[in-house]
Structure 1
Amino acid sequence: MSTSKLPLLVAGLALLAGACGDGAVQVQVPRPDAATQRLCEGLRLPEKVHGQKRRDTSPSSPLTAAWGSPPIALRCGVPRPATLHPTSQLVTINRVDWFGLPANRPVTFTAVARQAYVEVTVPPKYNPAGDVLIELGPLIEATIPQKPEGQI
């Protein structure tokens, strides 16, 4: 094998290991302000979601989590979704308002109207995606305070 193909082979093996559930899940770490980061660091996430075991994330951060393969991924402290508007359709599950984007799969839901935005990406394997939100919602509600009435 030529040395020029070696980096491609290594990258392919890394992707394969991640897809098989053996390695850490690549999850981009948000960069919130200090107050939001403190709120997110207080979020106590379970060892299992939707029956799936928690996995390590890379880079490791208290602002990210993942479960299963393909991974259900959570990021706390993300920016407000650019397409979120006062007239956007939200889904309320157990007193947490969620904004879903895109309409196809996998769906990324963002908990809104909270002092920190929490993003959860749910692959189609775990349909209905709302079951994942049902599990995570009470933890978000208990940790991330609501914004004043009318603010999303």
Structure 2
Amino acid sequence: MTANVIVTVEREFDVPRPQVFRAWTVPAELAQWRGSPGWHVEPSGLVGEPKPGGRHHHVTVRESDGLAVTTDGVYTEFFEPDVFVSRERITGDPGIDPAVPLELRVEFTEMGRHDTLVRIIQGPYEPDVAGWHGEAWEKELNRLADFLGTAGQEARR
């Protein structure tokens, strides 16, 4: 098979764009929400160099069996707080060939006074695994919404 499917997922958050962008690009914040339910980001070894050519790295671990999935990426574009693009190699995920890099593009669009539309575009995926990777992004965005709600409450205190 040929990896030729691009996954696109969108979600609108009632949170200012700079705050949403930080949740994606500041390692300590990213570690609090990335991963589907039943997964967590290992706090050790997080790397985030938010600039073109900057490296980012994180490991998500499935709690039920310890399966570790490692993401190593380099930002090819970085325009805070509008968009970043990363070329990534993902190892440990049985549905992704670690020899084939993926491109991740995340756009942050201001909607009204305080809302932010997040658009995730990632691929190429093999056709038989693209659907469940899209579902995984949906679950992660639910966790991001929870994190941003909590982070927003703390910021208002």
With normalisation by structure 2, the TM-score equals 0.30
Greater strand proportion: 2
With normalisation by structure 1, the TM-score equals 0.31
